[in-house]
Amino acid sequence: MIFCRHCGKEIHEQASSCPQCGGVQPPFVSATAIPGEGDSLWMAITSLVLSIVFTLTLLEDAEHDKDALIGMGVFLIASLALGVISLAGKKAGKGMAIAGVVLSSFSLLALLGSL
């Protein structure tokens, strides 16, 4: 049950008009039916966090062995993929996804240069 937008009386959610005052009601849309409202940010956030962590790891002065560099490359590719999927699916967090894609791309290029 919802309330009439005109008189405030309780009416059925699918009623097109109020039986009390005759006021026309807008169509009822549930919160889960609105596209884009329920999108989570996990892909964009994960892409950004992974790219930041591994960029900082690459900028470290310590020597990394080849296995560590390959492992970083796998996570950077995952970061890049999550960012691209988030952008292609028009999910929430577009700015974070773009930042994750750009940062992971530069980090991946730097990683390939250090191999």
Average pLDDT of the chain?
Answer: 81
The conformation of residue 32, written as its DSSP 8-state character, comes to: G
Q: Distance between CA 86 and CA 96 in Å, rounded?
A: 10
Give mean pLDDT, residues 109-113: 83
For residue range 23-36, list pLDDT tens digits in order: 887 776 554 444 45
Q: Is 11 exposed, middle or buried (0-12, 13-18, 19+ CB in 10 A)?
A: buried
State the pLDDT at residue 28: 62
Sequence-distant (≥ 6) Cβ neighbours of residue 77 within 8 angstroms? 104, 108
User: How is the chain split into domains, by residue range?
Assistant: 1-34, 42-114
Give mean pLDDT, residues 86-93: 81
Between the two ends of the chain, the Cα-to-Cα distance in Å is 64
Token representation of residue 18: 């109020």
State the pLDDT at residue 102: 92
Q: Over 70: is that where the pLDDT of 39 sits?
A: no
State the pLDDT at residue 73: 85
Q: Over 60: is that where the pLDDT of 6 sits?
A: yes
Q: Distance between CA 94 and CA 92 in Å, rounded?
A: 6
For residue range 43-84, list pLDDT tens digits in order: 888 899 999 988 888 888 778 888 888 888 888 899 999 889
Beta bridge partners of 110: none
